[in-house]
Amino acid sequence: MSTDVLIAGAGPAGAIAATVLARAGARVLVLDRARFPRQKLCGDTLNPGALALLERLGLHAATGGSLPLSGMIVTGTDGVRVEGRYGGVCGEAIGRREFDAALVMAAAGAGAQIEQGVLVQGAAVDTSGHAPRVTGVVVQRQDGRQAHLNASIVIAADGRYSRVARSLGLSRSSASPRRWAIGAYFYGVAGVTSFGEMHVRDTHYIGVAPLPNELTNACVVTANPGRRQPDDLLLSALRGDSELRSRFADARLASRTICLGPLGVDAAAAGAHGLLLAGDASGFVDPMTGDGLRFAMRGAELAAHEALHGLEHGVESAHVRLLAARRREFAAKWRFNRTMRWLVGCPGAVRAAGYGAAVLPQMLRHAIRYAGDVHAA
């Protein structure tokens, strides 16, 4: 059977794109190097906008067993603390291990073919015409054999270090800011509520989120991890923080500690002739604002729609249309996120924002609702 759309990556972006395409009758093949369920370093939260998208696509069942999130608590220096409720809507907390596996099952149920344990090494390009065109991907199977798999159009949803995008020079690590995330799951964290938490400090920030089964996700994002072991760095940040010290005093690690970085990824385009980018492959946003999954899933939906249009009318300009659609959808939120990234990277700005939040906490509450994509819900 020939393939209409080949998707590299079966995370939320790849699975969402596959579901939309398969429901529309396209012949879809999804490849991923992992086998699901698999662990993934993430904040493990879905904001109200992400949940609204899943509801609209009929995929809310993928969040089964999750915990409701009422909003976010943000703390800063000098004792600043603001509680921001989403108001009338909720987010949800669910481990990526369960959530991603459920989305893969939904894609398979829609008719997409899923192949796990297959490493996509890069794009296959035909240079015989007047312009290069992506015609498929080069893969390495578990037995070490290489193969070329062809498709009418390829969607690269293979993560922030996308082998497909980088093989064509379409993405690169950001020069600034360069940050690393170090995170793990814990048992026995005190004072956990129905709120996600963001603790912004001069040199780093710490995210804390409740999860089902009495687990807590804790992650520190820093510009300078040094040569310290991940366990030592994470525990030192948690137990050395005035806000969190007592809460993590008796906590126990429930997983290995994962270090990921540098985080920032810039994408030069939304794809190329025969190729569309989705998810983190199309540009990785700083996790501080907690809206990465909505970016990934909505961007994947846009890519799927452009792929369907390309299958019917020609794929030559599908990536150009996708870039325009992404700008219409995300431009304002990109500006907001850039501002937040600058803010947490500047100690003086962090302190100034803390003073402002103490005097006018409603401004920060509004920012929390905007970061949560409450307007989209």
pTM: 0.92
Question: What's CA 116's distance to the chain center, in Å?
Answer: 20
Helix H or strand E segment including 5: strand 5-8
The CA distance from 294 to 197, in Å, is: 18
Question: Omega before 37 cis (within 30°)?
Answer: yes
What are the tokens at 164? 């497909």
Query: pLDDT tens digits for the chain (377 residues)?
Result: 689 999 999 999 999 999 999 999 999 999 999 999 988 878 889 999 999 999 999 999 999 888 999 999 888 877 778 888 898 899 999 999 999 999 999 999 999 999 999 999 999 999 887 888 999 999 987 777 889 999 999 999 999 889 999 999 998 877 766 788 999 999 999 999 999 999 988 888 899 999 999 999 999 998 877 778 889 999 999 999 999 999 999 999 999 999 987 777 788 899 999 999 999 899 876 666 677 899 999 999 999 999 999 999 999 999 999 999 999 998 888 887 777 766 666 656 556 665 565 656 677 777 777 777 777 76
Specify whether the CB–CB gap between 303 and 295 falls below 8 A: no
Q: What pLDDT is recorded for position 98? A: 93
Q: What are the domain boundaries of the chain?
A: 5-39+97-174+265-338
Q: What pLDDT is recorded for position 336? A: 78
Q: What pLDDT is recorded for position 353? A: 60
DSSP annotation of 58: T
Closest by CA position to 208, among listed 243, 179, 159, 178: 243
DSSP annotation of 44: -
Q: What are the residues whose beta carbons fall under 8 Å from the beta carbon of 276, sequence distance 6 or more?
A: 153, 154, 155, 156, 270, 303, 306, 307, 318, 319, 322
Q: What pLDDT is recorded for position 260? A: 85
Q: Which CATH superfamily is domain 5-39+97-174+265-338 in?
A: FAD/NAD(P)-binding domain (3.50.50.60)
Q: What pLDDT is recorded for position 374? A: 79
Q: What pLDDT is recorded for position 154? A: 98
Q: What is the largest CA-CA distance in the chain?
A: 65
Q: What pLDDT is recorded for position 356? A: 61
Q: What are the residues whose beta carbons fall under 8 Å from the beta carbon of 237, sequence distance 6 or more?
A: 182, 204, 206, 220, 222
Q: What angle do CA 256, 292, 73 make, to 5 degrees?
A: 80
The CA distance from 354 to 206, in Å, is: 16
Residue 359 phi, psi (nearest 5)? -85, -40
Question: Omega before 262 cis (within 30°)?
Answer: yes
Q: What angle do CA 278, 284, 288 make, to 5 degrees?
A: 130
> Residue 175, class by beta-carbon neighbours within 10 Å (0-12 exposed, 13-18 middle, 19+ buried)?
exposed
